[in-house]
Structure 1
């Protein structure tokens, strides 16, 4: 027979056991779930740090802004080095298709990007990130008094253009056609910087380049706006490449270019934000 004191002792023991069990369960639950900061720290620790060289092929008109962005990217990601190959977009595209090792391609037109995307397994999801508009570049003081697109066809005016297969050259031809202007350039250059240099050196009286180039070189040249430029705005697509030697860093660099910090650098240089409907196949200029 169980006495009353025995029953009380048993009940007390049961209550204590239950309390200990609940405390253990609570501690276990907290331990397994962890606090938000602990979980985030673990996830951050698991993400590998970027390192190594990122090789970027970019249109010559992006040289100033991308050089700046490259330095900012290296600062944000110690251990990385951004190496650039600037030039005419068409030449860069052909190099990539031919197997030149590159991580990122930024072109001055959808047509040149298409050269790369048409080669299967070459580019990953190109996106338009900026736009650029044409302007007439003339030597300081505008000695030939160029005030309109038609003035480029005046007797005695020497003009440098980009070659037709280069984005700035294709855009210039579109603008000239829109203005009903026919002219024969004294030279056709393989990238916009080369055409601009002809003006700087006084070898020609004018050239059709991008507004961003005129702005960057304002100490040496003057710019002349012309309404036909609105018919030849170039969209600039960017893509990380499928065979990128450093794929993680390539994707990170593209994301950095498209970030708020990248946008700030590009717009300060005179680039425009892309139209809402712009796509890499929207233009062939």
Structure 2
């Protein structure tokens, strides 16, 4: 009997030693089964929930190139998601959302238009500022009117195009006019900055007031004329989730992508400033 007990004890000791020696590589299955189970539960709890579904993002026209890239990158990193983009002048987008358009996220080219939705209690939480922009004069590559300053836009015979006053780029133009004492006589007022740029590219205008980002994005289709007075009207861009969104988790994740490091890089590369 004693011999049997000694034999069993020896086996247990040998097993324990083997377990300790193997712990650094694979662990002792019998002694760590419970720990492995708990570890697995902890890892699962810390994982980021899988995003799915679709949202519609209403964004200022000046954000078209950057948001198109950000949405494409977001979908690639989150299979099963779909980001639909709707670009227009910020004031037009506000009207659409106020009238019940199915927007999940709104990104404005100024704080004034975002405030309209906030005041109407159509926005969830506080909007996040994510970029800034300033005006620049866009002219055809040949610069037929010989524009070299903001004051030149008021010269007789110059066909200048601007955004309508209710549009952020139009409001910024008015601010610069007041700051410089210059009165413009535009041949047309457009509903979005991309429409202004289009008039210049097509040769319908000698000059247009757009954002520096629009000039950069247009490449050699236009020539940019910077002017110091542009600093008098810096537009800050806010983004927020619309209260009627049916996929608030996905909306919040996209906003986080825009305001995070990746979004900052894409926006900076496009010429946007930081708020």
Question: By the TM > 0.5 criterion, same fold?
Answer: yes
Unaligned runs of 5+ in 1: 1-25, 275-285
Q: Secondary structure at the match of 2:220?
A: coil
Distance 2:75 2:119 in 1: 31
- Partner of residue 139, structure 1: 140
Distance 1:40 1:162 in 2: 55
Q: CA shift at 1:124, angstroms? A: 2.7
- Partner of residue 208, structure 1: 209
- Partner of residue 68, structure 1: 69
Summarize the alignment of residues 15-94 of structure 1 with structure 2, pairs less than 5 Å apart: 30=35, 34=39, 38-44=40-46, 47-94=48-95
Tell whether the 8 Å contact from 1:97 to 1:122 is kept in structure 2 after alignment.
no
Q: Secondary structure at the match of 1:244?
A: coil
Q: CA shift at 1:61, angstroms? A: 0.1
Distance 1:120 1:260 in 2: 29
Distance 1:149 1:123 in 2: 39
- Give the 3 Å change call, closer, same or farther, for CA 40–192 of structure 1 in structure 2: farther
Tell whether the 8 Å contact from 1:176 to 1:228 is kept in structure 2 after alignment.
no
Unaligned runs of 5+ in 2: 1-30
Q: Secondary structure at the match of 1:168?
A: helix
- Give the 3 Å change call, closer, same or farther, for CA 121–58 of structure 1 in structure 2: closer
Tell whether the 8 Å contact from 1:101 to 1:245 is kept in structure 2 after alignment.
no
Tell whether the 8 Å contact from 1:61 to 1:192 is kept in structure 2 after alignment.
yes
Q: Secondary structure at the match of 1:218?
A: helix
- Give the 3 Å change call, closer, same or farther, for CA 219–270 of structure 1 in structure 2: same
Tell whether the 8 Å contact from 1:212 to 1:270 is kept in structure 2 after alignment.
yes
Distance 1:27 1:139 in 2: 73
Q: Secondary structure at the match of 1:217?
A: helix
Distance 1:245 1:29 in 2: 41
Give per-residue Cα distances to partners, 1:56-106, cap 9 Å, x unaligned: 000000000000101000001001111001000011012112211111000
Q: Pairwise CA RMSD of aligned residues?
A: 2.4
Aligned length: 254
Normalization by structure 1: what TM-score? 0.83
Tell whether the 8 Å contact from 1:94 to 1:115 is kept in structure 2 after alignment.
no
- Partner of residue 265, structure 1: 266
Structure 1 moving runs of 4+ over 3 Å:
26-34
The answer to whether 1:178 aligns with 2:179 is yes
